[in-house]
Amino acid sequence: MQTSEIAGGALEGLRVLDLTRLLPGGFCTQMLADLGAGVTKIEDTGAGDYMRWAPPSYEGADASARSAPFLWLNRGKRSIRLNLKDPRGREVLLRLVREADVLIESFRPGVMDGLGVGYARLAEENPRLVYCAISGYGQETPYRARSGHDLNYLGLAGLVAMTGAADGPPMAPAGQVSDIGVALLAAFATLAALRERDRSGRGQLVDVSLLDASAIWLGLVAARHLCDGEVPRRGRTEQAVCYRPYACKDGWVTLAALEPKFWTAFCKGVGRDDLAARQFDAPGSETHAALEAIFATRSRAEWKAFADEHDCCLEPVLELDEALASPLFEARGLVSTLAQPGIGQTIRHLGTPLKLSRTPPAPYAPAPGLGEHTRETLAGLGYAHEEIEALLQSGAAAGPAGTVQGEFLA
């Protein structure tokens, strides 16, 4: 099986089959690809990964590879198209599995088994395979076949109920908390299973769910509740004047002076030593009113200068465009450029957060067109030219020519 490993990457030589769609599995395999793993996306013979069609899009010749979200999420991967409802398509998958280290899928539990290519069957072909199944509610739960998206999982885990003002409605978070969380869990658990395989020589099934990934963000809150029985409510982050956003002259700032030394530094800096004992006064108190008046006297830039001098956990609230253009993002390499064939320009996108001193991520490779590597991969698996043409003609596999809206598996 041909791959696109980054020479010298930490995961160089690792062969990953990615049967996922959209964000969770895509971000998991993006991190693996950034570190040098050879990731092959296995897409259906219809429209492929739904993310390919997510707006906005760049102008370009290949409509399947110009969606801005898709190009970021799938950099450095390869793409082939298989019809897993066709036994000939499944046979191609089995050949791929024989040479793979990892397979990651995100169908509802039972879909892969129904196709005859679930974990038990694939483990017969390759006992060393680490099979990671990402699902909404887990492989064996009452909700195993239930549909859902990020907000549903967060709601069931208790996070939405606690998000928002105390006197307001529950609120959805700005980011995809469970989607990114499950991607991190999947990558971590997969690498742990690979480490164990080094000792035992055997792969295993990794079962991660978006519900689990939602619950982990509330570990500290749950620990308190399970100890004292108190039920946390919305507005819990607004319970102290030392930890909240404040309006200033030209926007907002965040104060997070939880430790007494930071609160004391703030009070001294603004000339209000008398507030040093009022750190945990509640919103609506006289202390809160005094702080609102204090913050309104300076701009964000002035408060940044104040924080530079007094070190009190005080920072401006940046809009997304400001954050992306900030020196801090630049210093961390969080915005990168990538040459993407087919759209005639260099695109900008979020860079990897992974920093390794000896085997850092290599420059990013472009995202693949739909089915761009089908023929090449089939040839690498030992299929003769005539066999490849027969697979393409039968619809068991598909190359990059044309995109037909087809039936999806999930």
Tokens of residue 17, six digits: 């089959």
3-state DSSP helix/strand/coil % of the chain, to nearest 5: 40, 15, 45
- CB within 8 Å of 65: residues ≥ 6 apart: 52, 71, 340, 342, 343, 366, 367, 368, 369, 370, 372
DSSP letter for each residue of 200-239: HS---EEEEEHHHHHHGGGHHHHHHHHHH-PPP-TTGGGS
Count of alpha carbons within 13 angstroms of residue 129, beta-carbon side: 26
| Amino acid code (one letter) for 200 | S
Q: What is the DSSP string of 52-111?
A: GGPSPB---S-GGG-BHHHHHHTTT-EEEEE-TTSHHHHHHHHHHHHH-SEEEE-SPTTH
- Residues paired with residue 17 on neighbouring β-strands, in sequence order: 40, 103
Cα–chain center distance at 297: 39
Instruction: Please report the beta strands in 249-351, taking only residues with DSSP state E, as ranges in sequence order.
Output: 251-256, 314-316, 335-340, 345-350
SS3 402: coil
Q: Which residues are marked as active site?
A: 179
**Separation between Cα atoms, residue 181 and residue 28, nearest integer Å:** 10
Is residue 34 within 8 Å of residue 354, measured between CB atoms? yes
Closest to 352 measured CA to CA, from 335, 330, 328: 335
DSSP-H helix ranges across 229-299: 260-269, 286-295
Contact between 33 and 355 (Cβ < 8 Å):
no
Determine the Cα–Cα distance for residues 61 and 342; give it in Å rounded to an integer.
Answer: 6
Q: Does 361 sit behind a cis peptide bond, omega within 30 degrees of 0 on the bond before it?
A: no
